[in-house]
Amino acid sequence: MTGPIISARDLVKTYRSGVRALDGLSFDVREGTLFGLLGPNGAGKSTAVRILSTLSRPDAGEALVAGYDVTRTPREVRRRIGLVGQKLSAVPTATVRENVMLQGRMYGLRSRELAGRTDDVLARLGLAEVAAVQAGTCSGGMKRRIDIAMGIVHRPRILFLDEPTTGLDPDIRQRLWADLADLVRRDGLTILLTTHYLEEADELANQVAIIDRGRIVTTGSPEQLKQQLRGDTLRIELTRAPRDGVVGDALSGLGGVSEITVDGTRLHARADDGGAAVPVVLDSLARAGIAVVSVTVARPSLDDVYLRHTGRRYETASAAVGPTIGGLP
């Protein structure tokens, strides 16, 4: 298709509790890409996925998925998508193969086609060897793979994955990334993945949209987003948390240094030229009686992109919504 394969326009969703989870959410996804919807817990990612996969209706706005309107033609949408939610969905007492076949049958696959397609997806996701094993006895990483196999057995054009790697060990996460990238590259699948991991969006997604409080604050490839921020990032660890305003006062007059934030003992700033700024910044801090443990000069990260567009550090925004973010790298 020539236009975007997913198009969300001004989606609004307020829950009965009064929480406005989506507040005019708009974005487009190109076919055959891996699109990362990145945001801290509570930003509205799951709500967006639930609406796009027809599990929930928006209060306002519209969305087209594979050319079909999600509220007017939900059946057409459902036939063309796969969905892997946050909760594991495999039946624990059935074997891995039975789980995938059951799902395929629900989508109308039969006999030889069903068996062939099941074998294909099990092989693609590295599950062939455990095909006869009960799903409930598999590791966390395997269970995620079983869910993904179940999500693609009917050959959907689009796969929605809601935080697929949360809680997985880093090496298992990396393997899953490789498999997801492969599904996009080799099979032409479009994947919309939600994540609260900055590095996941950075390394895996062709296109990232940063969601904050139910709205997209910026979108582009990870490289484009980072290139919009010129210069370097200074990360300075202080010996103790300074009093409010002291750091700002010390550094405010320095040319080429901006976006100064202090979070406990961590000081972040942007510098037009990081190398040149370090001695000047350290001197100014020393004059103000602020002792420094370490200094790092780095290229901008998605964390810096988030700060630029929301005025808050990503980690701070994540910590503010609860303890489930504990696994953030």
Tell me if 47 contacts ligand ATP by CB under 6 A.
yes
Tell the smallest beta-carbon distance from residue 303 to ligand ATP (Å). 17
How big is the site for ligand ATP, counted in residues (CB under 6 A)? 14
Q: Which is nearer to ligand ATP, 19 or 293 (CB)?
A: 19
Q: Which is nearer to ligand ATP, 46 or 103 (CB)?
A: 46
Tell me if 19 contacts ligand ATP by CB under 6 A.
yes
C-alpha distance from residue 325 to each of 195, 197, 215 (Å) = 11, 10, 20
Binding residues among 195-224 for ligand ATP as defined by CB under 6 A: 196
Q: Which is nearer to ligand ATP, 44 or 231 (CB)?
A: 44
Spatial strand order in the sheet of 232-238: 257-263, 266-271, 232-238, 292-298
DSSP 285-305: HHHTT--EEEEEEE---HHHH
| Piece of 42-50, 137-145, 251-259, 294-302 that binds ligand ATP (CB under 6 A) | 42-50
Strand partners for 234: 269, 297
* One of 25, 34, 38, 42 touching ligand ATP (CB under 6 A): 42
Contacts of 113 (CB under 8 A, 6+ apart): none
* One of 29, 38, 41, 302 touching ligand ATP (CB under 6 A): 41
Q: Which is nearer to ligand ATP, 195 or 207 (CB)?
A: 195
CA–CA gap between residue 131 and residue 122 (Å, rounded): 7
Q: Is 39 exposed, middle or buried (0-12, 13-18, 19+ CB in 10 A)?
A: buried
Which DSSP helix (H) or strand (E) runs through 271?
strand 266-271
Tell me if 39 contacts ligand ATP by CB under 6 A.
yes
Which DSSP helix (H) or strand (E) runs through 314?
helix 314-320
* One of 11, 36, 38, 44 touching ligand ATP (CB under 6 A): 44
Binding residues among 140-179 for ligand ATP as defined by CB under 6 A: 163
**Footprint of ligand ATP (CB under 6 A):** 15, 17, 19, 21, 39, 41-47, 163, 196
